[in-house]
Each structure stands twice: as C-alpha cells, then as structure tokens.
Amino acid sequence: MRDLSKDRALLAINSATVKALTLPQLVESCVRRGIGGIAPWRDIVQAVGIEKAGKLIRDAGLTVSCYCRGGLFTAADEPGRRAAIDDSRRAVDEAATIGAKCLVVLGGGLPNGSKDLAGAHAQVRDGIAALLPHARAARMPLAIEPLHPMTAADRCCVNTLAHANDLCDVMGDGVGVALDVYHVWWDPDLPRQIERAGKRILTYHVCDWLMKTRDTVFDRGMPGDGVIDLRAIRAMVEATGYSGLIDVEIFSTENWWKRDPEEVLRICLERHQTVV
C-alpha cells in the first residue's frame, strides 16, 4: 500500500469540491500547494474554452485524473437518448483535448414517469455501447461509476460495483470503472468486486459518509469525518495494482461549499496525508 504521509503528487482535487473556483484558480492553487492533479467538471473547462483549458493544465504540469462527466443515457424517448449519446461524444472529445485519463460515465436514473428499472438498465447498456466506438477512436477510456442505491431513481440506476463489472464484461476494451467510496462502502460484496474489477479501476474517489446524512446527494463528508474505513478500501484497490491518483470529491451545500476554498484545499491535503 502506498505511503501518502508526505505525498502531494497522488492527490487530485475534484472541481466539485471547490465549486467557487474557476479552472485557472483551481490550477493555480493546486500548483502552489504541490498537488498533483485535478478532476474537473465540464462547466469550468467549457467556461475557459476546451483548447485553452488543455494548454493551461499541461503548462501547469497537472494530471487530469478523470473528466466529469458523460452518460445520463436514460430518457423517455429516442431523441432524448440520442441527445445524451451526442453530448457524451462531445464529453469524450473534451476529455481527450484536456488530456484526461478517463471520462466518468453515469448511467442515468429512471426516465420521467417510468417505473421500468430493467428497461433503464438496458438503456444504460445500449448508451454505453453506442458511445464506445467514438471513445475507442479517441483513445479515451470510459469509467462507469456505480452510484449509491439512494440515487437509483433520479441519477443513476447502476448502483453496485458488481453491476458496473457486469457492464464491463459485456463491453470489452475501452471501458472500466470509477470507484467512489461514498457509493460502495456499505456493500458486503465490495472486496470480491474490487478484486474482480482489477485493472478496470480507472479512477478512485474519496470523501466520507456522515453518520447523520441530511441529503441524498449534497451532504458528503471530508475524509476522516465519517464512518468509511478509507484505509481498508484503498488497500483493496491498490492490491489490484491501482497506481493512479486519488480524487477528493465532496458535494456539501451546508458545510464545505460554504467555506473558503483555500481552507478546503488545505484540509483535503492534510486528510490525504493522514486518513485516506
């Protein structure tokens, strides 16, 4: 298991953790602190312009651990599903332009008015399959992210690493998984599925599950503030040979998003070295 106690290079800051920062501000702050990477969402990249964002990141010497995000394939009608695939192709191109290691892909929830979970699963599978040739041509790996089951209806109906692994089995080359501890920590099948995922783990995300969680999306904790055994999960992930960066991704309307981003970055780095 890698020793992070003095590490800065393996930390990546997900831009959603410090939403107030622009891409140039995020890049500057990370460089100043010796942080090795970033995981930008599309909004802050598009705000700068894709080519310019890529140059900015390359010139700074930062790794783009992943690009967030494509997918959300489920929709009530064919034009809706086609639009999601088209948009995901653009996300692939953006990811390639900025030199991201992978594009995070979310399944999508139940289409409006639908109760057909198996149908939604099929739409996700078909959406990834439709996106894959373009991603392969761009040499941009797709990282399927299982989201917590509490998001199955409104965000993502792929809710276990087992399901993401099953999708990888079907898809073959060019597809892997994005593993975020927040979504999978509760799963008794996690050790087996991490081992099964093996080299498919393309990006690894941390935050924490707060004992009293007040929102199904926007109440994540800073690593160390919750109940997830982060060391144990990282040990399993690194036992597969994972050698990539570790992204801190925290959605937190009532706490971390209210704080000074510089304070948040300082604490992210401290926790990276002490509890992750």
List all residues 6 or more positions away from 194 whose beta carbon is below 8 Å from its beta carbon: 161, 179, 201, 233, 236, 237, 240
List all residues 6 or more positions away from 196 whose beta carbon is below 8 Å from its beta carbon: 162, 165
| Closer by beta carbon to its own copies, 148 or else 200 | 148
Q: How far apart are CA 144 and CA 160, in angstroms?
A: 11
| Closer by beta carbon to its own copies, 110 or else 245 | 110
CB of 191 to its own copies, least distance (A): 9
- Piece of the chain touching its own copies by CB under 8 A; list 30-38, 40-48, 51-59, 187-195: 187-195
**Can you say whether residue 72 is alpha, beta or left, with left for phi > 0 and alpha for psi between -120 and 50 degrees?**
left
- Piece of the chain touching its own copies by CB under 8 A; list 31-39, 67-75, 79-87, 159-167: 159-167
According to CB under 8 A, which one of 51, 189, 254, 260 is a site residue for its own copies? 189
Cα 272–chain centre separation: 17
Query: Residue 32, preceding bond cis, omega within 30 degrees?
Result: no
According to CB under 8 A, which one of 228, 245, 269, 276 is a site residue for its own copies? 228
Q: How far apart are CA 102 and CA 84, in angstroms?
A: 18
According to CB under 8 A, which one of 12, 18, 105, 157 is a site residue for its own copies? 157
| Closer by beta carbon to its own copies, 13 or else 206 | 206
According to CB under 8 A, which one of 67, 73, 185, 242 is a site residue for its own copies? 185
Measured at the CA of 102, the angle between CA 92 and CA 40, to 5 degrees, comes to 80
Is 154 one of the binding residues for its own copies (CB under 8 A)?
yes
Chain residues in the site for its own copies (CB under 8 A):
110, 114-117, 121, 148-150, 152-154, 157, 159-160, 162-163, 185-189, 209, 211-216, 226-229, 232
